[in-house]
Amino acid sequence: MGWFQRARESLFSVTGISTVCLFAASWFLATDLIRDYLAAKRASARRALEDQMRVQPRVWSAHELAPFDGSDPSKPILIGVDGEVFNVWRGRDFYGSNGPYGMFAGKDATRYFAKQVVTLEEDDGKDLTEEEKDNMKSWKEFLRYKYDFAGTLA
């Protein structure tokens, strides 16, 4: 009898099947425990980051917003729009220092949103039209829906 025949008989015997089932169950249990551990570790890191980025709502001046411009990854990112301040740290890829809308961060971005411009050079300096005010209000509603309220702008 060859080695293959002996292995097949051992594997398909009662003890062989029991051993294979025990090994498979142990494998699935171990991988499930490891997966749960890693998920709990990621969740804990996420909660710690959320706590670090949390800002208590208060009254902000334009000068106080400046340090929250997205250049420091350990700080939240704040944007002022029409008298309200929003913590947009969850959108760091958009509003961070290297993001396409990074110029909005750390300041009152009302005119940027209203006129749909990304640089001050594009702003014509004129008073906002009703259409631009409506546009800004739409953006403000979007920010309210998606990001955390951080206070008001003085």
* pLDDT of 17 higher than 80: no
Q: pLDDT for 29-82, tens place per residue? A: 999 999 999 999 999 999 998 999 999 999 999 999 999 999 999 999 999 999
pLDDT greater than 80 at residue 4: no
Q: Are residues 120 and 134 both part of a single domain?
A: yes
113 in the same domain as 74: yes
Looking at the fold, whether 127 and 144 belong to one and the same domain comes out as yes
For residues 87 and 116, membership in a common domain is answered with yes
Domain that holds residue 83: 58-153
Phi then psi dihedrals of residue 151, to 5 deg = 130, -160
Query: 3-state DSSP call for residue 57?
Result: coil
What's the rounded Cα separation, in Å, for the pair 64 and 87?
A: 13
Both 25 and 47 in one domain: the answer is: yes
b/e map 70-93, b = 16+ CB within 10 Å: beeeebbbbbbbbebbbbbbbbbe
* pLDDT score recorded for residue 16: 66
Rounded to the nearest 5 degrees, what angle is found at the Cα of 104, between the Cα atoms of 83 and 65? 60
Q: Is residue 14 scored above 80 in pLDDT?
A: no
How many domains does the chain fold into? 2
Final residue before a domain boundary, out of 15, 30, 53: 53
Residues 76, 9 within the same domain: no
pLDDT, residue 10, reads 66
**Tens digit of pLDDT for each residue in 111-151?**
999 988 888 788 888 888 999 999 999 999 999 999 999 99
> Which one of 20, 37, 53 terminates a domain?
53
Same domain (yes/no): 27, 79: no
